[in-house]
Amino acid sequence: MTLEVFSIALAALGLLALGGALRQLWRRRLLAGSAQGSAGILLLAVATLSWALLANLHTYRRLTHEQLAADLSFTALGPQFYQARLTDAAGFATFFELHGDEWQLDARILKWRGLVNLVGIHTLYRLERLSGRYRDAAQAAATLPSVQPLARHAGLDAWRLAQRFSGWLPWVDADYGSATYMPMADGARYAVLVSTSGLIARPRDAATRKVVEGWR
């Protein structure tokens, strides 16, 4: 909401400045009109960039404490071949096919520093991809990976901007990616939690806990 209000305010100021510029030009005050017009265009440009950044931030979810990011369950389709059912925090379920012995879920986390948290901008996260893994390194090197993208891409990439201009944006930490992985098995069910320290995967039932104990 803070960024939305900021963008709307900039757009309103830009329109007012352009209106004032037209009035000045109508009165043949070219210097004043040009100055106001330039200021108005600049404000509208910044407002447009803010809206583009806001569109990208809306692809992330707000994080204020440890919370459920996804539920994962697996059905065996063949040797080292599984159907994965991923249910996100909004309750939307998607099915994927994965090859391998293990699954891996990756996420991006945008952490804010200092006073930024005090104005209502919380840590944000976005699930990036779900992939299959082979335990045997030689098999992994000889086999094409199965990778399923999860993220929507819209507007300006806040992650890339924060990385590229880290010196100018000291209040945001975009160097933090997180991943968790566990074994796949027929009927296995996992809860994936996210906190400001990253992703955590936990078995949902006793049968899955036995799979994890044997995997370790």
pLDDT tens for each residue of 106-165:
988 776 654 444 445 566 788 889 999 999 999 999 998 899 999 776 554 555 555 554
Say yes or no: 156 and 52 in one domain.
no
Say yes or no: 170 and 67 in one domain.
yes
Say yes or no: 182 and 210 in one domain.
yes
Expressed as residue numbers, the domain containing 6 is: 2-57
Structural domain total, the chain: 2
Say yes or no: 19 and 43 in one domain.
yes
Say yes or no: 18 and 121 in one domain.
no
Looking up tokens 């065996």, which residue turns up? Answer: 76
Say yes or no: 25 and 77 in one domain.
no
Which amino acid makes up residue 172? V
How far is residue 157 from each of residues 52, 73, 150, measured CA to CA in Å?
9, 31, 15
Say yes or no: 41 and 67 in one domain.
no
The predicted-structure confidence for 65-77, as pLDDT tens digits, reads as follows: 678 889 999 999 9
Say yes or no: 176 and 195 in one domain.
yes
Say yes or no: 148 and 93 in one domain.
yes
Domain boundary among 42, 57, 72: 57
